[in-house]
Structure 1
Amino acid sequence: MTNPPEHSPSDAPAASLITYPCQFPIKVMGIKPDQLVPALTHIAQQFDPGFDPGTVELRPSKGGNYLGVTLTVTATSREQLDELYRTLSTHPMVKVVL
């Protein structure tokens, strides 16, 4: 008789270091600064209906070609954050999401 295989720690779901719900800042770097903020705000509101566009922080690049944007959303789950990151990352004006 053989024993069932033991599960390694990598088989278990990773414990989250985030306690949900919480305010979670997401930094985005993108192009076309005049069109970027409305696009990002729209995406943030799809994942967080209570998102306040007044909390958006902006940091233009020296040359003015890029814009750093911090969106602070109410994170409710790991799945929500993962999907928000995927959606932001695939937007054509977005270069980097942190």
Structure 2
Amino acid sequence: MTSATPQTNDEILQFPQLFPIKLVGLTTEYFQTIVTDIAREHFDDFDESTIEIDYSRTRKYMSVTITVNAKSREQLDNMYRACTSNPVFKVVL
């Protein structure tokens, strides 16, 4: 019987790759702009045509999903840290 060596996340993720990121927060007129600005800070080739917007049933919350061209785990981690430290975002997936 052969024991399999567990893979680390870095071995599972291969770069570059298209990577979806979903951000959820209260519906405001500037929510999408904040998402776009942060994405541009971390991904110089960010394509705004990948933006998808959805609303909760009551429209109190909105979600913005972007797809980025991630070149490294570090790049994704930096984006995640920037988003989770911003109080506008309630959930980052």
Please give the TM-score of this superposition, normalised by the length of structure 2.
0.85
Larger Rg: 1
The 4+ residue runs of structure 1 with deviation greater than 2 A are: 13-16
Structure 1: runs of 5+ lacking an equivalent = 1-8
Aligned length: 88
Structure 2: runs of 5+ lacking an equivalent = none
Residue number among 21, 30, 33 corresponding to 1:35 in the alignment: 30
Q: Is the 8 A contact 1:32 1:93 kept in 2?
A: no
Measure how far apart 1:33 and its partner are: 3.1
Q: Tell me which residue corresponds to 1:71.
A: 66
Alignment of 1:38-49 (within 5 A): 38-49=33-44
Q: Aligned residues: percent identity?
A: 38
Residue 91 of structure 1 pairs with residue 83 of structure 2: no
Measure how far apart 1:16 and its partner are: 2.6
Residue 23 of structure 1 pairs with residue 18 of structure 2: yes
Please give the TM-score of this superposition, normalised by the length of structure 1.
0.81
Aligned residues: CA RMSD: 1.8
